[in-house]
């Protein structure tokens, strides 16, 4: 922890003058926002559909009536 504090103090002591910091603000720009991917919801929907179909098949496969003798 003391090493981190020492490094922070050193960085604070080397702080750039106000004029240099003002120039940096003109150069440094925020990164553009990342658009959300449509792949994740589509994959989740596909997995849910497959799981639902498998569950329905399992449910109804056990509900078959035995054949009646004629």
> What is d(CA 32, CA 62) in angstroms, rounded to the nearest whole number?
54
Assigned token pair, 8: 């922070």
pLDDT of 61 higher than 70: yes
- Encode pLDDT of 14-42 as tens digits: 776 766 666 666 666 777 778 778 899 99
Over its C-alpha atoms, the chain yields an Rg (Å, rounded) of 32
Give the 3-state DSSP-derived string for the chain, with helices as H, strands as E and coil as C.
CHHHHHHHHHHHHCCCCHHHHHHHHHHCCCCCCCCCCCHHHHHHHHHHHHHHHHHHHHHHHCCCCCCCCC
pLDDT at 34: 80
């Amino acid at each position: 922890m003391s090493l981190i504090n020492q490094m922070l103090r050193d960085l604070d002591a080397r702080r750039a003058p106000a004029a240099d910091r003002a120039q940096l603000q003109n150069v440094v720009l925020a990164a553009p926002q990342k658009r959300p991917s449509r792949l994740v919801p589509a994959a989740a929907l596909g997995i849910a559909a497959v799981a639902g179909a498998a569950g329905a098949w399992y449910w109804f496969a056990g509900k078959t009536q035995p054949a009646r003798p004629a």
